[in-house]
């Protein structure tokens, strides 16, 4: 099996890139953030812990993280190409993930390091609005990605929502944690000769998507 991992700061565009790979290259998208948000809806102790961590931008402890991700990875079918979105976020997680992927027979790994300037990230995160029905994503600070009507989905006319963790305070915490932890992770995968750099500063997503397509096409062929 083949797997793709994104190393990226919060709101870097992993969802947009993952959606492209699902549509154009047949990948299965496994988002750690989405798994946490679904679990956080449960009104039990673990749900409350996850909900608070999402609100404040703090990392989830490794035991809880890998318990959840292992359950999801066990549903992966033989031969599926997978995207792991949101993992690893520390060097220790990267090392543990290597063992898990090896056990799943993920023999080839492509790691893409996404580069975006901090101020762009902040606007992407705090301006993000999501349709709870069709999952379309918008941004109120972007002329290109604003909904036609404020807080209304263009596709299904559902009311858009703002994720509870898409706040400036949460962004600052998550960004600082990312900056602290990302350098050793990037070095770790660079030493494995599986790391590629991808610039995603431009609002014209087609530029990044073309480069992504070039990188991934060579990987899956």
pLDDT in tens, 46-55: 888 888 877 7
Give me the mean pLDDT over the 141-164 stretch: 93
| The pLDDT of residue 132 is above 80 | yes
Q: Which residue has the higher pLDDT, 116 or 61?
A: 116
pLDDT in tens, 160-200: 999 888 999 989 999 999 999 999 999 999 999 999 999 99
> What three-state secondary structure class fits 72?
helix
Q: What is the pLDDT, as a whole number, of residue 86?
A: 85
DSSP E strands in the chain: the ranges are 2-7, 27-31, 81-85, 108-115, 128-130, 137-139, 195-199
Full-model pTM: 0.84
How crowded is residue 26: how many other Cβ atoms within 10 Å of its Cβ? 10
Q: What is the pLDDT, as a whole number, of residue 128?
A: 94
């Amino acid at each position: 099996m083949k797997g793709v991992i994104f190393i990226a700061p919060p709101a870097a565009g992993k969802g947009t890139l993952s959606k492209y790979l699902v549509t154009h290259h047949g990948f299965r998208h496994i988002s750690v953030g989405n798994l946490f948000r679904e679990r956080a809806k449960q009104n039990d102790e673990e749900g409350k812990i996850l909900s608070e961590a999402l609100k404040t931008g703090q990392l989830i402890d490794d035991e809880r993280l890998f318990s959840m991700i292992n359950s999801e990875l066990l549903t992966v079918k033989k031969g599926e190409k997978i995207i792991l979105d949101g993992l690893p976020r520390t060097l220790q997680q990267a090392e543990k993930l290597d063992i898990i992927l090896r056990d799943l027979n993920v023999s080839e790994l492509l790691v893409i390091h996404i580069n975006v300037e901090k101020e762009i990230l902040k606007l992407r995160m705090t301006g993000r609005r999501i349709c709870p029905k069709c999952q379309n994503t918008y941004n109120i600070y972007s002329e290109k990605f604003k909904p036609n009507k404020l807080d209304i989905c263009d596709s299904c006319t559902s009311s858009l929502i703002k994720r509870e963790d898409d706040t400036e305070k949460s962004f600052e915490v998550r960004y600082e944690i990312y900056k602290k932890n990302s350098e050793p992770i990037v070095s770790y995968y660079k030493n494995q000769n599986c790391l590629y750099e991808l610039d995603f500063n431009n609002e014209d997503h087609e530029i990044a998507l073309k480069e992504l397509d070039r990188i991934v096409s060579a990987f899956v062929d």
